């Protein structure tokens, strides 16, 4: 009757994190409090995304964001909700959001020790047609003392304490790592709670899928082009890989974690640093990938070793199943 027991013993995300925390007697519950505010933001965005068509939230807000893209109303709304939820947690000191050009330094009376980097609503091109989108976040600890400086968020990804994403898809899924494995929770709308549904996610060692915007192929560098060619026309007798590309990083990475394979947003001649942002896209996803037993590579180094110089910096990224990323690394090594 194990299935029956599952239904009555609900492991909520709050219970899960409190359990983990009890293994660290020195912790004072600050992380649980921070997380509950992140979760609140995600529940709000989930509800807003679900009724976007009805509420006429879809459409341009008439503002442009840092990267010069037109912002959608849902992006603006999600950002406001996250910033307010994070500040009011009383546990944050610096916030970096994709939607804000400058980092936000929390006022002293509300200040805590965590720095949170996030993309409140990623996959903006998919909003209007109801395709999965998501929120991505990463958490750093203030380096030392009470003084918060921009350097506190310009740390390599390997210094992150926690990272995660929430996918607004056919169901709302929250995937979290605090540095000891990866766990997935699904929102039960009738309870308003995230319930543990994907304990200890491990990515298959090798995958059958590659995921990339092939429309950029004419501008790719040699190793990227060679890798994709190998996916389609393998010379070692292995079957060709399937192509899957949603164009929402959260959804593409989520599938990659569960089914295996590789997701790439490489450099190209037009965008030598690729498209995805280091702090709130590349780092959190790389952190999760490693926690699931996969790898993440920039074309030069382990992605989590990168030291960002600017908060909105971009980097090429290749992440996914261990063996697949190993192949990409070999192609770049051969290039040198
Ligand atoms: P956004 O922040 O404007 O939504 O852009 C990020 C998104 C990622 O979710 C996705 O992986 C990528 O852009 C897709 O880019 P492209 O449309 O160039 O393939
Ligand atoms: Mg975005």
Say whether pLDDT at 4 is over 80.
no
% residues pLDDT > 90 (the chain): 80
Residue 64 above 70 pLDDT?
no
Could you tell me the pLDDT band of residue 21, with boundaries at 50, 70 and 90?
confident
Tell which wins on pLDDT, 28 or 333: 333
Cα dihedral across residues 3, 4, 7, 12: positive or negative: negative
Q: What is the pLDDT of residues 183-203, one digit of tens each?
A: 999 999 999 999 999 999 999
Tell me if 248 CB under 6 Å of ligand 1. Answer: yes
Q: What pLDDT does residue 323 have?
A: 98
Instruction: Reply yes or no on whether the pLDDT at 70 is more than 70.
Output: no
- Residue 147 has a pLDDT of 79
pLDDT value of position 57? 61
Tell me the residue length of the chain: 336
Q: Is the CB of 73 under 6 A from ligand 1?
A: no
Kindly report, residue by residue over 85-100, the tens digit of the pLDDT: 999 999 999 999 999 9
Picking from 197, 214, 224, 131, the residue whose alpha carbon sits closest to that of residue 170 is 131
> What is the b/e burial string over 77-89, where b = at least 16 CB atoms within 10 angstroms of the residue's CB?
bbbebbbebbbeb
For ligand 1, the distance from its centroid to the CA atom of residue 247, given in whole angstroms, is: 6
Atom of ligand 1 nearest to the CA of 245: 19
Q: Report the distance separating Cα 146 and Cα 156, nearest Å.
A: 20
Angstrom distance (rounded) from CA 293 to CA 320:
9
On the question of pLDDT at 39 being above 70, the answer is yes
Query: From the CA of 278, how far away is ligand 2's center (Å)?
Result: 12
61 pLDDT band, cuts 50/70/90, is low
Task: Report ipTM for this prediction.
Answer: 0.97
Residue in this structure with the two tokens 């494995």, named with its chain if needed = 181
Pocket test for ligand 1, best of 128, 129, 224, 249 (most atoms within 8 A of CB): 249
pLDDT value of position 77: 92
Mean pLDDT value of segment 28-56: 89
Strand partners, 111: 92
What predicted TM-score, i.e. pTM, was given to this entire model? 0.94
pLDDT tens digit sequence for 243-253: 999 999 999 99
Q: Is the CB of residue 166 less than 8 Å from the CB of residue 253?
A: no
Start-end of H helices in 133-220: none
To the nearest whole number, what is the mean pLDDT of the chain? 92
- Give the mean model confidence (pLDDT) for residues 314-335: 97
Closest CA to 117 of 68, 66, 83: 83
Give the ligand whose atoms come closest to the C-alpha of residue 249: 1
Closest C-alpha to 37, from 74, 90, 77: 90
pLDDT band at 59 (very low <50, low <70, confident <90, very high): low
Residue 89 CA, ligand 2 centroid: distance in Å: 23
**Mean pLDDT along residues 140-169:** 92
């Amino acid at each position: 009757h194990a299935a029956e027991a599952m239904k009555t013993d609900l492991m909520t995300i709050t219970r899960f994190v409190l359990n983990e925390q009890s293994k660290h007697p020195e912790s004072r519950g600050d992380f649980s409090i921070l997380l509950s505010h992140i979760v609140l933001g995600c529940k709000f965005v989930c509800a807003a995304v679900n009724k976007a068509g009805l509420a006429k939230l879809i459409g341009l807000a008439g503002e442009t964001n840092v990267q010069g893209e037109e912002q959608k109303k849902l992006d603006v709304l999600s950002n406001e909700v996250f910033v307010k939820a994070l500040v009011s947690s009383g546990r944050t000191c610096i916030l970096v959001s994709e939607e804000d050009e400058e980092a936000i330094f929390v006022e002293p009376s509300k200040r805590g020790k965590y720095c949170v980097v996030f993309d409140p609503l990623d996959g903006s091109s998919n909003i209007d047609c109801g395709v999965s989108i998501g929120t991505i976040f990463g958490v750093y600890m203030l380096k030392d003392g009470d003084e918060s400086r921009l350097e506190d968020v310009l740390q390599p990804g390997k210094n992150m304490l926690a990272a995660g994403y929430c996918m607004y898809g056919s169901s709302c899924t929250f995937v979290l790592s605090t540095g000891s494995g990866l766990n997935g929770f699904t929102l039960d709308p009738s309870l308003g709670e995230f319930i543990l549904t994907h304990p200890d996610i491990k990515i298959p060692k090798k995958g059958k899928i590659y995921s990339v915007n092939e429309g950029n192929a004419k501008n790719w560098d040699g190793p990227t082009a060679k890798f994709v060619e190998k996916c389609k026309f393998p010379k070692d007798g292995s079957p060709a890989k399937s192509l899957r590309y949603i164009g929402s990083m959260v959804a593409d990475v989520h599938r990659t974690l569960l089914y295996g394979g590789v997701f790439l947003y490489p450099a190209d001649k037009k965008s030598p640093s690729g498209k995805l942002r280091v702090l709130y896209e590349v780092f959190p996803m790389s952190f999760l990938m490693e926690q699931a037993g996969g790898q993440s590579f920039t074309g030069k180094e382990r992605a989590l070793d990168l030291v960002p110089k600017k908060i909105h910096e971009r980097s090429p990224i290749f992440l996914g199943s261990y063996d697949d990323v190993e192949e990409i690394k070999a192609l770049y090594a051969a290039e040198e």
